[in-house]
Structure 1
Amino acid sequence: MYLPDKFCDEMKRILGDEYEDYLASMDASRKYGLRVNTAKISVEDFLKITPFELTPIPYISNGFYYDEKEQPSKHPYYFAGLYYLQDPSAMTPASRLPVEEGDVVLDLCAAPGGKATELGAKLHGTGLLIANDISSKRAKALLKNIELFGVENSFIVTEYPAKLVEYFTGFFDKILIDAPCSGEGMFRKDPAMVKAWEQNGPEFYAKLQREILEQALPMLKEGGMLLYSTCTFSPLEDEGSVQYLLSLDPSLKLVDMEGYSGFVKGNPAWIDSGNKELEKCVRMFPHKLDGEGHFLALLQKGEKAAVKKVHFSQKRKGLKGEEKKLFEEFQTQMNRTFDPERLESKNGMIYYMPEKLPDMKGLRFLRSGLFMGEMKKKRFEPSQSLAMALKREDYKKRVEFSADDEEVFRYLKGETILLQPEQIVDEGKKPGGWYLVCVDGFPLGWGKAAGMTLKNKYHQGWRLL
């Protein structure tokens, strides 16, 4: 494939004798990755039901290689949010940021959601995930993936980092910055990146990265951890940007990450630095492992606090009058309860708000919390995002399909379904009404039954084409 001379000269400088091996890897086929959503299913259980031939990615505990011919994006399990399709190397940053339940986490450059969905899965419905992207168009894809994964404790924002600092100084336990970069590690996956590199190379992106890092660092609390990553090989954007970040706060320290034989340590000499700590950074090259190019560095700010900081929490107004009555009527069909003080109505749209979300007035955002559904005339209509956040046992009335049932594909295409008695599970007192449609026990969406006919309520924008 075509590679610019200036890029090749730099790769010869940093790779030396390995340069020819790198060139050969650029003519090899790229690898495809699948990452299991451990918030919905364990890796062990997924392997029992998967129809695909999978090979473990040795450096990702819940990641697997698959053959692109199998088309996992067309399988019902994809629509149930059981996995995310992602370049194997791109799974590494979220896997190496040690998110714990209850953490308040920021994914600063989050679209389209590959890393944010993994961070959300690690939280298991606790704490708070704020996922930001300055592009509202890209953030729409981010929102869909967050909803598909069933992440209910999220806030999807479309702001510049400088604006976020006004709201979140010293707020986050963990921050992930997968920074805009020159994309050298993606040349094999997307050759169009080469032309983009010729227009805006490492010098352009290094300046942008350092602006982002300057703005992000004040949002990290004392003892908090920040993971910086790129998909480029450029030392200016990699070790160079990390060294710049270290210069901003003397309490920042690089932290060792879980290793792998194919990883390469950072090299301070490539930026004429004598800081041996930069060797704790991790580089990923396509001639060293099965994946594309990536770089990551994990840093901690000051000493880890013995007791977690209590984040701001506020009570919501809850639902009133007719809205409260209609929602409570719907909730009689559920085996899960929602804290009424976290419910909020915005012009008839009902949201379940994260506990640790402060007042966001003035910020541009696409979604705050879990969108539960909408109040219509004398009824509550549950949302697609609510269906994805539920477990099968959370709802009393269900339609159960198997993954190889032709009816499940008809449902995903938006068609009306004529039900069979063995497909219906009804713990409720009244037949009919809203049913949670599941595939092998995992929710897909809603349907509304009248007799044995199921009117399709699957989200129109998500339907299988």
Structure 2
Amino acid sequence: MGREEFISFYKPLLNFTDDEWTRFINTMESRLPSALRITNTKFKNKIEIFFLKEKLISKNKFFRDVYDTVHKGTSHKDFIINQTSVGHIQKQEIVSMLPVLLMGLKENHSVLDMCAAPGSKTKQLLEKASLVVANDCSSKRLNILISETCKIPHASYLVVKHDASALPVFKTDFDRVLCDVPCSGDGTARKNPQILNNWNIGSAANLSNLQYRILKHAINFVKSDGLIIYSTCSLNPIENEQVVLKAIMQDDLEIVDLRKFIDHNISKDFVMRDGIIIKDENGLRTNFEDLKKCIRIYPHDNDTGGFFIVGLKKKSVQEKDFRPKICKNNFCEITDECRSKLEKEYSLEKKTLICRGKNMNTIYETTPEILSTINNSKLNIMHVGYKIFEQCNLNLSGYRMKNVFNKNFDVEISGSEPIRAKMVYKEFRKGSVVVRLVDFDVLIGGFSYGNKISLYISNNLQKALLDFFN
């Protein structure tokens, strides 16, 4: 068991030359370079300028908006911590970005992330897709996911907790279904050297049945012209090509070559290897050439972790058996009385506002599509939309804006002093206000006392904003 078993299994399987095998195993035993991604917010350009000006980190040569965190420095460390805390930066391994980058995602697409936690790929999805449902079976990991993904508000977002292989069927199907399944993770050995030390073939064999069941179940959620993305951070064909082959042979699926979705976000120099032609469950070598359309990422090719990814689609249209009990659940729309109070203070337009049961302390914004989805008694719902109002005693509505949704603003301010003080001395009518921060072209909430305005700025946001004045 361990490194020797890893070598005896993979060396004949991968069929590298002696020189390439040496490079492969040396890379597997070296430290993984860290990377970060600049998220798509109004702060994106400012962060890019900061990085280039300070020359603290360098652009990744393969991926757009990705930087290699190779340089050290206190200012660099503090800046990244502050911007990460509010969602402007995401630390993420390069290969883990591939499933979202290679799924041909469009802005009008809906996506189901079946094994979502801790959420780095979910955050990628939320930046582009019109609707995202994230699922995981671990409460602890889901708490991390919710905390991370809610740094940036998204109304059309739902988090549920289920075993991915038994996730209840939804009323509507999805354009994309991501199955980034639990795996043995030997592709991540550069982050965790103990993986090689403890490696054994049984780890993969024990997981392959669960991986297949999740992939098979994904068929119930994807549109007839949609796409399933299956991925692992394992190099083992037992968890990869063998699972895919079983799905193709038994479940009316066919492989889609995801290379066709390569665009300006990925360099053509990024090496993607073909899938391996493997033996079937009876030990017979298959001639299923389509397995070559699978994508393998080897650590020594691009100085990354190891990864496997493949696209699958239905061969034929299947009838859906959907019989949920439509009923009230933990979340419901706010009362007419509450909406009436809010409309006296805020311009709500036609926003879909909900609360958790009878608890009116926090009000969430979501979308009609998500509201329809959550009316399913079988769903174990953990989070919906984003927090838009919190109870307070400052105004007649009894609520203050948690996140600003207005396109218009009442007051403009500039400079660092109001941000440091979380206060600006300015005469304005009493009540809730929307303040534009001129230096960033972003809006925040506040409350005017008549002669001064208190700014709703969290400590994390305060630090992130002040970074650009230092």
Output the TM-score relative to the length of structure 2. 0.78
Partner of 1:99: 105
- 1:10 has 2:9 as partner: yes
Query: Which position in structure 2 is the counterpart of 1:279?
Result: 292
CA offset at residue 444 of structure 1? 9.4
Could you say if the C-alpha distance between residues 440 and 289 of structure 1 is closer, same or farther in structure 2, counting changes exceeding 3 Å? farther
Q: Hey, what does 2:28 align to over in structure 1?
A: 26
- TM-aligned CA deviation for residue 199 of structure 1: 9.8
SS of the residue aligned with 1:300?
strand
Secondary structure at 1:101 match in 2: coil
* Alignment deviations for residues 137-163 of structure 1 (CA, whole Å, 9 cap, x no partner): 111111122211333210011112344
Q: Is the 8 A contact 2:242 2:278 kept in 1?
A: no
CA distance in 1, matches of 2:233, 2:27: 16
> Which of 65, 83, 92 lines up with 1:62 in the alignment?
65
Look up the SS of the partner of 1:25 in the other structure.
helix
Secondary structure of the 1:89 match is helix
Matched, 1:159 2:172: no
Post-superposition CA distance 1:1-22 (Å, at most 9, x none):
x953211212212333222111
Further displaced range: 453-462 or 244-253: 453-462
Tell me the residue number matched to 2:354: 344
**Contact (CA 8 Å) 1:79, 1:444: kept in 2 or not?**
no
Aligned with 1:365 (options 354, 374, 381): 381
Of 338, 341, 345 in structure 2, the residue corresponding to residue 326 of structure 1 is: 341
Q: 1:30 to 1:394 in 2, by over 3 A?
A: farther
The DSSP-based 3-state class of the residue aligned with 1:373 is: strand
Deviations 1:410-455 (A, max 9, x none): 6xxxxxx26456xx8x9xx525656669695276976656555747
Distance across 1 between alignment mates of 2:304 and 2:192:
13
1:186 aligns with 2:188: yes
In the alignment, structure 1 residue 299 sits paired with structure 2 residue 287: no
User: What is the DSSP-based 3-state SS (H/G/I as helix, E as strand, rest coil) of the residue aligned with 2:340?
Assistant: helix
Change (3 A) 1:150 1:47: same
Identity %: 22
SS class of match (2:238): coil
- 1:65 & 1:33 partners in 2: Cα distance? 4
**Which one is further off, 373-382 or 277-286?**
373-382
**1:414 corresponding residue in structure 2:** none
The amino acid of 1:301's aligned partner reads K
> CA contact under 8 A between 2:42 and 2:442: conserved in structure 1?
no
In structure 1, what is the equivalent of residue 142 of structure 2? 139
Mapped partners of 1:343, 1:273: distance in 2: 54
Aligned CA distance change for structure 1 residues 138 and 295 (closer, same or farther; 3 Å): same
Root-mean-square deviation (Å): 3.7
**Counterpart contact for 1:448–1:457, Cα < 8 Å:** no
Q: Which runs of 5+ in 1 are unaligned?
A: 305-312, 411-416
Give SS of 2:169's match.
Answer: helix
Give the C-alpha shift of residue 350 in structure 1: 1.8
Asked if structure 2 preserves the Cα contact closer than 8 Å seen for 1:214 and 1:245, the reply is yes
Deviation per residue, 1:154-209 (Å, 9 max, x gap): 001111234424335x6111001111000101111123444675596111121221
How far is the alpha carbon of 1:25 from its aligned partner?
A: 1.1
Deviates more, 1:371-380 or 1:229-238: 371-380
Contact 1:117 1:149 in 2 (8 A): no
Contact 2:231–2:309 (8 Å) recurs in 1: yes
Residue matched to 1:307:
none
Distance 1:444 1:195 in 2: 51
1:35-434 matched pairs, under 5 angstroms: 35-38=37-40, 40-41=41-42, 46-50=47-51, 53-67=56-70, 69=72, 70-71=76-77, 74-123=80-129, 126=130, 128-168=131-171, 171-194=173-196, 197-198=199-200, 201-257=203-259, 258=262, 260-269=269-278, 272-302=285-315, 319-332=334-347, 337-340=348-351, 342-346=352-356, 347-348=359-360, 349-357=362-370, 358=373, 359-376=375-392, 378-382=396-400, 384=402, 386-387=403-404, 390=405, 395-397=409-411, 417=421, 419=423, 429-430=428-429, 433=432
CA distance 1:3–1:396, shift in 2 (3 Å): farther
In 1, distance between residues paired with 2:192 and 2:412? 42
Q: Shift of the alpha carbon at 1:319?
A: 4.2
Aligned partners of 2:255 and 2:310 also within 8 Å:
no
1:346-391 CA deviation, whole Å, 9 max, x = no partner?
Answer: 431322222322223331121112222234555444465x35xx58
- Once the 2 structures are TM-superposed, how far is the Cα of residue 68 of structure 1 from its aligned partner? 5.8
Code of the residue aligned with 2:340 in structure 1: it is: K
> What amino acid sits opposite 1:135 in the alignment?
S
Cα drift, residue 75 of structure 1: 4.6
Distance between the aligned counterparts of 1:398 and 1:76, measured in 2?
Answer: 24
SS of residue paired to 1:47: helix
Cα gap change, 1:430/1:361 in structure 2, threshold over 3 Å: closer, same or farther?
Answer: farther
CA contact under 8 A between 1:165 and 1:218: conserved in structure 2? no
Aligned-partner residue type, residue 410 of structure 2 = K
User: Structure 1 165/371 Cα, relative in aligned 2: closer, same or farther at 3 Å?
Assistant: same
For 2:118 and 2:102, locate their aligned partners in 1 and report how far apart those are by CA, in whole Å: 19
Instruction: Indicate the SS of the match to 2:9.
Output: helix
| Mapped contact 1:65–1:88 kept (Cα < 8 A) | no
Q: Which amino acid aligns with 1:48?
A: I
CA shift for structure 1 position 293? 1.0
Indicate how the Cα distance of structure 1 residues 368 and 52 shifts in structure 2: closer, same or farther if over 3 A, else same: farther
Whole-Å separation in 1 of the counterparts to 2:459 and 2:379 = 27
Q: Aligned to 2:228, what secondary structure does the other structure show?
A: strand
Matched AA of 1:300: K
Q: Which has the larger radius of gyration?
A: 2
CA distance in 1, matches of 2:339, 2:141: 35
- The amino acid of 2:271's aligned partner reads G
